[in-house]
Structure 1
């Protein structure tokens, strides 16, 4: 199973395993990672699972699609590495991905 390292604003790390095909959000919620609220349950209808993808991983996670980009407009402090974790599907290629949780979601 691929692993994800979540890093909170204060530097606390949470390393979790994810099923192939599961989203980063699903892995966070399942493992109790703080800061990923996922109020819409992964329907890309809120921005409460907003994260920053570590720059070393942005090519592998890809670009947000149009609907995700629209929702990121509602995310506080979004930047060029912002993604909605409900839209990143885990694969073996993403094993070791580093995801940072924004300060305001702590």
Structure 2
């Protein structure tokens, strides 16, 4: 039986997938709704993933890092996503944009790593709030 980072068994609820968000040393186990994006899942669960363009594939602030195993299971990013990832802070070979990733069974018990910072080209100290 699989256990979460706290040592408790994962429970599977209908239409949900267990995913783990990690930022620095902090982890949070989430029961994500199938079909939701990583970005919307983060916002629904008070996880600090910016998403300045509100999921419209126009920025790189929802940049996440996936395991090589998960990355290889997913479809190739579009050219537009690759272009935006080139602007992402701490880009890796398994970087993706959270607004482009819809939760399904491939994400079960996977760790979604949030970079320590984002590149948002806003001015005057503006910090967007999750939507």
TM-score normalised by L of structure 2: 0.73
Q: Secondary structure at the match of 1:46?
A: coil
- Looking at structure 1, the residues matched to 64 and 110 of structure 2 have their Cα atoms a distance apart, in angstroms, of 12
Instruction: Report the equivalent of 1:18.
Output: 32
Note if contact 2:70-2:106 (Cα within 8 Å) is conserved in structure 1. no
Instruction: Report the equivalent of 1:6.
Output: 21
Deviation at 1:40, TM superposition (A): 0.9
Note if contact 1:57-1:98 (Cα within 8 Å) is conserved in structure 2. no
Deviation at 1:61, TM superposition (A): 3.0
When the two chains are superposed, the root-mean-square deviation of aligned CA atoms in Å is 1.3
| Structure with higher helix content | 1
- 2:112 corresponds, among 92, 99, 104, to 99
The one-character-per-residue Cα deviations of 1:55-80 (angstroms, maximum 9, x if unpaired) are 23111233211111011111112110
Larger radius of gyration: 2
TM-score normalised by L of structure 1: 0.89
Count of residues paired in the alignment: 103
Note if contact 2:65-2:94 (Cα within 8 Å) is conserved in structure 1. yes
The one-character-per-residue Cα deviations of 1:44-98 (angstroms, maximum 9, x if unpaired) are 1111100100223111233211111011111112110111011111112321121
- Looking at structure 1, the residues matched to 108 and 47 of structure 2 have their Cα atoms a distance apart, in angstroms, of 18
List structure 1 runs of 4+ shifted beyond 6 angstroms: none
User: Unaligned 5+ residue runs, structure 1?
Assistant: none
